Amino acid sequence: KEEWATPFQSHPLLATRLVHCGKQSSQLVTADILSFGTRSGSRTGVEVHIFRVETQRDLAFWSRAFVQGSHGAAAITKQVSCSAVWKNKKCK
């Protein structure tokens, strides 16, 4: 439980999306692997993470938590500002 309180790495939920959820077949393992993947935007680019779960129930729980959390974060955010370059000029 202590590890959950002090994460090694974290990403803003607003910039995180669930991009994969389901079974993956493996040639090395005879059983299907349940996993889900996330994609997070960061200052250094896009990061992709794949998480393995043991049961279909765990998969449903984590998937629902990511989707609802992302939607909730978007709903309470009033404004998002992104830096860009347009016609060779920096803008937001």
What integer pLDDT is reported at residue 89 of this predicted model? 92
Q: Which amino acid is at 57?
A: R
On the question of pLDDT at 17 being above 80, the answer is: yes
3-class DSSP assignment, residue 12: coil
Q: What end-to-end distance do the CA atoms of the chain give, in Å?
A: 40
28-59 pLDDT, tens digit per residue, is 666 778 999 999 888 888 999 999 999 999 99
Q: Pairing relation of β-strands 45-53 and 33-42? A: antiparallel
Quickly tell me which residue has 């939920």 as its tokens.
13
Task: Kindly state the helix (H) or strand (E) to which residue 4 belongs, with its residue range.
Answer: helix 2-5
Question: Could you give the domains of the chain?
Answer: 2-91 (2.30.29)
Q: What is the pTM of this model?
A: 0.66
Calculate the average pLDDT of the chain: 84
